[in-house]
Structure 1
Amino acid sequence: MSRTILKNTKVVNEGRVFETDVLLEGEHISRIDRDISHSEATVIDLKGDLLLPGVIDDQVHFREPGLTHKGTIASESRAAIAGGITTFMEQPNTNPQTTTIAKLEEKFATAAQGSFANYSFLFGGTNDNLEELKRLDKNACSGVKLFLGSSTGNMLVDDEMVLEKIFRNTELVISTHCEDEGTIRANTAKYKEQFGDDIPIKYHPIIRSAEACYLSSSKAIALAKKTGARLHVFHLSTGIETDLFTNAIPLEEKKITSEVCIHHLWYSDEDYDKKGTLIKWNPAVKTKTDREKLWEALLDDRIDVVATDHAPHTLEEKDNPYTKAPSGGPLVQHALQAMLQKEKEGKIELTKVVEKMCHNPAKLFDIDRRGYIREGYFADLVQVDPNSKNEVKKANIFYKCGWSPFEGVTFDTQIMRTFVNGLLAYDQGGFAAERRAKRLTFNR
């Protein structure tokens, strides 16, 4: 059994920051204490750096199978561990889509061969796969994904009778992409009549409007309340949607939860002039007021989770007129640093970053022994130098697509090391030849 002692670190965990040593034995954390020693252990001096639980990203698009020119499970999970993300949940809108149990298991087999980070997948609900969904074991994967507005791929669920049956027939968390399709189509037609395909990007948040988001989110929440389903609304982008959620009860008791993504906390519609289609996402980045309301809801616990919605495209694909440029962008390598930058700016407490990116996804999806630094838990850990500047540039980007919306940004922190199930998987720019990533298990 491998043994590693992490010396001289400040652990950030469960609302506390404290100095300690941490002993890793095999895949697990075996002891958290001062002055640990062991004759057979490798000692790594963290020199006072922070030690965080590995980040759990509940929403990524790693593009495999079928879209592997943009990214693969191997390439994007490699970038993820360089950014301190040790666990991901990948979405079903690949090619073919993950809408059968057989295709779901094929993805697990691919990840078992190539992933650098722990993994699970969401099963895609459609207008015609309810019987397959009923056969899905509640511990088979992280949850069910429904597109209630079109996005990349063609998985729109617009049959209201089917939608209610899905809500009534699964014990899994139902995660939703909420944008009202009718509103979006009408807005698109209006601006396409005026501009053709080359609609100025500044109209993206008007086409995919706050109204479209609110109509869809409120409908999903009403259906969840009617049916008793467990609902998680992905990537909130508007201030008005935040009022649909509560902070009156603890997360463990919530039946309806929500997530915000890095880009909606970082950018606003004022950034379209500079960034163009590089920051074209669905839902769209909206106003500074929306961004501020999202921050308020995150800090007061109406929003439960911070994720990435990592969705790479090539620069050639992005460099198209509005109607042909795909939505999405790569984020897993820099998401934790982006949140730590906001901590440096006084926007959020360090312990709150860990709560929203590590603890809460583990709670929300009932993940077995991850998301915390606890004895007996899997040793998924991230060493962060809190006082080291790091500029994002093409030479240090690990995404297969080779670009980042953060290029040119200098972060005031650096991800130094990442441990995955006790393995030093990422070490100051280098990656271990061994891979120890595991399929997630759940306590359901």
Structure 2
Amino acid sequence: MTNNITPQNIEAEESILGGILLDPNAISRVADILPPEAFYVMAHQQIYQAALDLYHKDQPCDFMTVKTWLKDYKLFTKVGGENKLTQLLDRTVSAVNIDRYAALVVDKYQRRLLINAAREIEELGYDTVTELPSVLELSEEKLFKVTVDEKDPFQPQPIHDCLRDVFNELEEGKSPAYSTGLTDLDKLTGGLTRKDLIIIAGRASMGKTWFSIYLANHVAMTYQVPVVFFSAEMSKTQLTKRFLAIHSGIDSSRLMRNEIYQDEYDSLVKGLGILTELPIIIDDTPANTLTPSRMRSVLRRIKAEKGSIGLVVMDYIQKLGDRAAGNRAQAVGKFSGAFKDIAKEFDCPFIALAQINRGVEGQANKRPFMSDIKDSGDIEQDMDLGLLLYRDEYYNPDTQDKGIMEINVAKNRNGQTGVCQVQFNPVVGVFFNS
């Protein structure tokens, strides 16, 4: 093992840098796939960083500008001075193969990362103080960083870099949120925004699960992005039957009992066909073993396979953890904090369902408030968007608001609060604008 040579390709590194100095446009072909740290030689890292910085500032990165940059940052002598830059130029004929050279350099870089990860995992294996689940999660995380090769998105940035990103978003004019398909709700919330923790709360039978299924289905259908549904409440089969009810129009309670009328088979086949094509992934890991660590592990695998995570749904938060724990509010608060972190890490909205305390049943007005969320703990602080659901017909069979769900946007970190109404059919789980 001691005779092994560290993976590297110095010639490819020199060819890349020579190609950039020779052809100022060449860097545009490798800037997004080749990080400076991929270079094995420190001087090469610094020269490439100079070219990269000039490129990001829309300045030419030729021999003279790179040389000036290195001098300005007092690195010119450290990298080898004029002789080094001239040597790189002399050894390069053209930049035509720069993409291929970049792939070779990244290959060696990933091998070095893998070797380092293996050493760190070995140390973790010997660390008997740390619990095994934590060791396994840390080990998996280290390997994923190598295989996915994604840059850390949480590096500190000067505000001028942030402004560039903001300006690009404004120029593109694309919404940073997914529409819910419900006009009045979108007017209040702006939709489901990436990186947001969204809490949907209500008493039993208010339609929380149906609403989350509707949103998951709408996002998957409209945007064709992977939607991951963690169900600590229902099994995969039960949840799938609810999705199927939406697309087939068949009574969900009969689907649960496997009762299909003869004239419904065409609708069933049509619903199956639509649902088969949707990028919806269901995880029904039991609540007592479903932890934020496990959820991250699942999401990393899906992201590695699909390229991104569009939306995460968790049904429901109070099911998780030790339900016999003395301080349930604190325990649930830890989960809400972890869910907010997951939303940021995977750049997607995270919807978590929550129960409302049964105390509202004794009130004259049974519409819930934020303070009625069961074991609320830090949930109210962690959430970006809080939606409280209420159906009057559940309590008042003779109400004029039959088929109506009230959605109270009780907290909205980035927008308005208020109440809107939508039509809801609990038989097949369909929502419409009221």
Q: Give me the TM-score of the superposition, normalised by structure 2.
A: 0.27
Higher relative contact order (CA 8 A, sep 6+): 1
Q: Give me the TM-score of the superposition, normalised by structure 1.
A: 0.26
Larger Cα-atom Rg: 2
User: In proportion to residue count, which structure has more strand?
Assistant: 1
